[in-house]
Amino acid sequence: MAMAKIDEEALAEAYNRALALEKAGDIDAAVEAYREVLDIDPEDHGGAAVRIASMGRGEAPPRAPDAYVETLFDQHAESFEDILVEQLGYAVPVLVRQRLQELKLGPFKRMLDLGCGTGLTGGTLRDMVDDITGLDISENMVELAHEKDLYETLYVAEVEDFLEDNDDEPFDLVTATDVLPYLGALEPLFFGASENMVAGGLFIFSSETLPETDARTYAVGPHQRFLHSPAYIRARLAETGFELVEMSDINVRMQDGNPSPGHLVIARLKG
């Protein structure tokens, strides 16, 4: 079936109008404009559904639209590391390495780096692992990771889809640094990880934390990134066969000069 051609001009007009209304604080009108955006572009390359949820309207989607995440990272691939590390102070891969060393965990045989981006986590853990497989939804990101020659295998794929379809040998380390901010419901990720791991294998990921005053399990925060409640993470890990090794408080990144409180989670797949 041929894809309906998007009216780029109408889409740009509606999206810019929605952004301007959101910035001006006219939430009702902004939500209406973002709904127009979704009518024009149902695949949602601009993340309108996530923006509506970030304004506290409508349900948070179970995950950010694939088209949005792919577009976002394809556009920013070249400047990604500079923005993330230099401007936003992102150091989660280094924190992962520190915790593994302090807990005397590793070395590892096979690592799966979910949402590998340009290879920040793969590069940081390279000397602790024999064989690393990376995947990312953004082709441009995977090309940059490929140029670094850090990974034995690289895939362009959406994380949950890959975990469901993959039949490679299982992994004894699975990492997902900066993946949860693009996912709401965690069951597909956690279950998918467990299905691709050896018993006793480690699953390590970072999350951004929903304030304790918020009763929801997950929500879209003001920066269009998903926030998760620690209780929800614990419950979902237990339900998908993991035991929690540790959940430590971290600052995931700086945003507008303020820290983004989050967690670094290490879980072990039960035998």
Average pLDDT of the residues in 190-194: 98
Average pLDDT, the chain: 95
Q: Which amino acid is at 121?
A: T
Give the number of other CB atoms < 10 A from CB of residue 238: 14
The span from the CA of 233 to the CA of 191, in Å, is: 12
**Does a cis peptide bond (omega within 30 degrees of 0) precede residue 42?**
no
Average pLDDT of the residues in 232-239: 98
Quick one: pLDDT at residue 2?
Answer: 43
HSE toward the beta carbon, residue 123, CA cutoff 13 A? 13
Contact at 8 Å (CB) between 255 and 223?
Answer: yes
Q: Encode pLDDT of 117-168 as tens digits.
A: 999 999 999 999 999 999 999 999 999 999 999 999 999 999 999 999 999 9
Quick one: pLDDT at residue 132?
Answer: 98
Residue 4 pLDDT grade (very low, low, confident, very high; cuts 50, 70, 90): low
Place of tokens 């993946």: 179
State what percent of residues in the chain have pLDDT above 90.
Answer: 88
Q: Encode pLDDT of 84-112 as tens digits.
A: 888 888 899 999 999 999 999 999 999 99
HSE toward the beta carbon, residue 166, CA cutoff 13 A? 27
Average pLDDT of the residues in 199-227: 96
Q: Which domains does the chain have, with CATH numbers?
A: 8-76 (1.25.40), 80-269 (3.40.50.150)
Q: Beta 258-269 vs 242-255: how paired, if at all?
A: antiparallel
Contact at 8 Å (CB) between 73 and 181?
Answer: no
Average pLDDT of the residues in 181-193: 98
The span from the CA of 115 to the CA of 46, in Å, is: 19
Q: Encode pLDDT of 55-77 as tens digits.
A: 999 889 999 999 999 999 999 89
**pLDDT for residue 3 is more than 80:** no
